Amino acid sequence: MGQILSIEEKPCSISTEDRILDAALTIIQEKTISGLRIRQVAEKAHLFQSNIHYYYNSKKELLLAVQKKVLNRYREIRQQSINQSGIGPEATLEDRLDIFIKQKIYTILIEDKYDVAELDFWNQSRLDPDMHKEFCLSYQNWRTEIREIVEKFSPDMPSAKQNLIAGIAVSLLEGATVQFLVDKEAFDLDSYFAYCKSILIREIRG
């Protein structure tokens, strides 16, 4: 396995609200969203139920906050990867794609609770319009980030193809998550992502 990012998930001292969200995230990993109870969150966070209700009036409000935490975490990891790598405007296409790949490898291997929760939220979002809206926005932002890379290195490419490559890139990244969570022996992650990157580079550079 190639070098894994060294990412600090949170400071030693965290707020009460973060304790609640972290506890809820852990319970989702252990029992799924449908198995989450406010009482369990309070116990896991070492708080009273009244503390939970001070921040969140309902289970749905709590779940939406957890969903935003999960989706925001991916962006945080990418930004920390950029800071660690020290890449700037002169970064190569390979460098920029590596930011997304390193983030995905990190969450798959180190912080898989976020990937587990993301898949559970995706399932719930089919029935919940608010969760569905958050997912649409998240994927839209993700595709936009990748499309900006495509546009930078292939400015003459038709807009429709730029959009298509961005969508394919997201699918390749997310596909690794789903398969690896199901079967960790399915393939070698480094080989998988190296091939994914070669496909994207070939398409972007034409």
Instruction: Return all residues near 36 (Cβ < 8 A) that are at least 6 apart.
Output: 24, 27, 28, 59, 63
For the cut 90, the answer to whether the pLDDT of residue 88 exceeds it is no
**Which of 81, 108, 78, 116 is closest to 188 using CA atoms?**
108
Q: What's the pLDDT tens digit per position in 162-206?
A: 999 999 999 999 999 999 989 999 899 999 999 999 999 999 998
pLDDT at 87 (0 to 100)? 80
Where exactly does CATH 1.10.10.60 map onto the chain? 13-57
pLDDT, average across residues 21-30: 94
pLDDT at 7 (0 to 100)? 59
- The CA distance from 53 to 59, in Å, is 9
3-state secondary structure of 32: coil
Per-residue pLDDT band for 121 (boundaries 50, 70, 90) equals very high
67-205 carries CATH number 3.30.450:
no
| Highest CATH level, class, for 13-57 | mainly alpha
- The CA distance from 142 to 177, in Å, is 16
Q: What's the pLDDT tens digit per position in 133-163?
A: 998 988 999 999 999 999 999 999 999 999 9
For the cut 60, the answer to whether the pLDDT of residue 30 exceeds it is yes
pLDDT at 4 (0 to 100)? 59
Where exactly does CATH 1.10.357 map onto the chain? 67-205
pLDDT at 12 (0 to 100)? 54
Q: What is the DSSP letter of 91?
A: -
The secondary structure element, H or E, covering residue 25 is: helix 16-31
